[in-house]
Amino acid sequence: MPELPEVETIKRTLINKVSGRTIKSINISLSRLIKWPTPEQFKAQLRGQKIVTLHRRGKYLLFELTDNLMLIVHLRMTGRLYYMPSSEPDDKYTRVVFNLDNGDRLLFSDTRTLGTLYLMPGDELWRISGLFNLGPEPLSADFTIEYFSSILKKRQSKIKAILLNQSLIGGLGNIYVDESLAIAGIHPERAAASLNDEEIVRLYESINSVIAKGIEDGGTTFRDYRDAEGKSGSHQYHLYVYGRKGEPCRKCGATIEYKTVAGRGTHYCPFCQH
DNA sequence: CGCTCGGCCTGTGCGC
DNA sequence: TGCGCACAGGCCGAGC
């Protein structure tokens, strides 16, 4: 479900609530989501740990704990992290509960159960290949126009597939890729290497601006996504193409089309994206 | 090495 | 209304 702006929003709505809290106990109702170490070790090692702070890298959330431990959470398609006051009940899809020292709880909820959790020392993060191989993120200092240009110029794959590849650029997903391409006026099936310098700059700027706007709007809520307080984002009201199949393009009025590109449902304007 | 595709899961919404 | 099928903010591993 969530992409960089949604995970960033969860981080921002959670960091002040959990920082300084100690995890008293853990309830696991679906143990296969715990990928490292074993669920028993996961519980035993987490018990009594204090949460120092919270980080985000790409679509991963990293809870920095005392004793050099890191709790890593990936929400995949439908995962949610909720901060729940002790008075409120769990939701139906709660899979892991972290009981905190103030009586409140941190819930990991997930309908499709594709989410993943890990616990390991901070110097063993290489065990998580998706995290270890993550490329530079939009809006970060290492996501330069030179870097972006260099990864496009040597690849014949469709531009959409390149933008979705987390080892090349960290944090983009299906919504923000479709939006970036629409804003830049580039067709999702173009070979990456076929983009000229002017198109590369346009796409680079579109990616950065749409991610910044997504964060500013608190993410995009289509169905599952909520922040750590259970609130929806508002970027769905500003989308150019995603979820707008059959509706008029905001730029030219042509009908937004939908087809599968790079294995994903893809929305685009057949008139203004070349 | 680079890339594409199927599989992992459950729920929902659409067309017939 | 009921049913079946396609599809859903993601990623990994197999196979070419």
Average pLDDT of span A107-129: 97
Active site includes A2?
A: yes
What are the pLDDT digits (tens) for A169-220?
A: 999 999 999 999 999 999 999 999 999 999 999 999 999 999 999 999 999 9
Statement: residue A118 has pLDDT above 70: yes
Q: What is the mean pLDDT of residues A70-85?
A: 97
A126 DSSP assignment: G
Residue A228, strand partner residues? none
Q: What angle (nearest 5°) sits at the alpha carbon of residue A174, between those of residues A172 and A175?
A: 90
Q: Calculate Rg over the CA atoms of chain A.
A: 20
pLDDT-derived band at A87 (thresholds 50, 70, 90) equals confident
- pLDDT category of residue A225 using cuts at 50, 70 and 90: very high
**The pLDDT of residue A26 is above 70:** yes
Q: Any atom of strand B under 7 A from CB of A153?
A: no
Q: How far apart are CA A178 and CA A260, in angstroms?
A: 12
Q: Are strands A51-57 and A60-65 parallel, antiparallel or unpaired?
A: antiparallel
Supply the angle between the helices A197-216 and A4-18 in degrees, to the nearest 10.
30
Measured in angstroms, what separates residue A131's CA from nucleotide B1's C1'? 20
d(C-alpha A222, C-alpha A85), whole Å:
25
| Residue listed under structure tokens 């910044």 | A212
CB atoms within 10 A of CB A174: 18
Whether A116 sits with its Cβ under 7 A from any strand C atom: the answer reads no
Question: Residues A182-192: pLDDT tens digits?
Answer: 999 999 999 99
User: What are the pLDDT digits (tens) for A51-66?
Assistant: 999 999 999 999 999 9
Distance CA A210, CA A197 (A): 20
Q: CA of A82 and C1' of B8: distance in angstroms?
A: 24
Nearest to A195 by CA among A144, A225, A239, A158: A158
Cα(A142)–Cα(A119) distance, integer angstroms:
27
Reading the block at residue A26, the tokens are 């853990």
CB atoms within 10 A of CB A232: 14
Could you give the CA distance from residue A174 to residue A264 in angstroms, rounded to a whole number? 7
A3 is catalytic: yes
* Chain A 206-225 residues in 7 Å CB range of strand B: 223
Distance set, CA A101 to CA A49, A67, A81, A95 (Å)? 10, 18, 18, 20
Give the whole-number percent of chain A exceeding pLDDT 70: 100
One of A24, A57, A264, A270 is an active-site residue; which one? A264
Residue A112, pLDDT above cutoff 70: yes
- Å separating the CA of residue A239 from the C1' of nucleotide B2: 32
CB crowding A142-168: b at 16 or more within 10 Å, else e? ebeeeebeebbeebeebbbbbbbbbeb
Distance A19 CA to B6 C1' (A): 40
Of residues A56, A59, A95, A190, which has the active-site annotation? A59
Annotated catalytic residue A59: yes
Tokens 């960290």 found at: A170
Q: Which nucleotide is nearest to A158 (CA to C1')?
A: B3
CA distances from A103 to A25, A71, A98 (A): 11, 20, 10
A78 nearest nucleotide via C1' and CA: C9
pLDDT tens track for A143-165: 999 999 999 999 999 999 999 99
- The residues near A92 (Cβ < 8 Å, ≥ 6 apart) are none
Across-strand partners of A267?
A258
User: Any atom of strand C under 7 A from CB of A180?
Assistant: no
Paired tokens of A23: 């995890």
Report, as an integer, the average pLDDT of A215-227: 94
A246 CA to B16 C1' distance (Å)? 21
Q: How confident is the model at residue A35 (pLDDT cuts 50, 70, 90)?
A: very high
Q: Which nucleotides of C are covered by protein (CB under 7 A)?
A: 7-13
Strand C at less than 7 A from CB of A130: yes
In this prediction, residue A1 carries a pLDDT of 67
Nearest to A176 by CA among A78, A110, A264, A257: A264
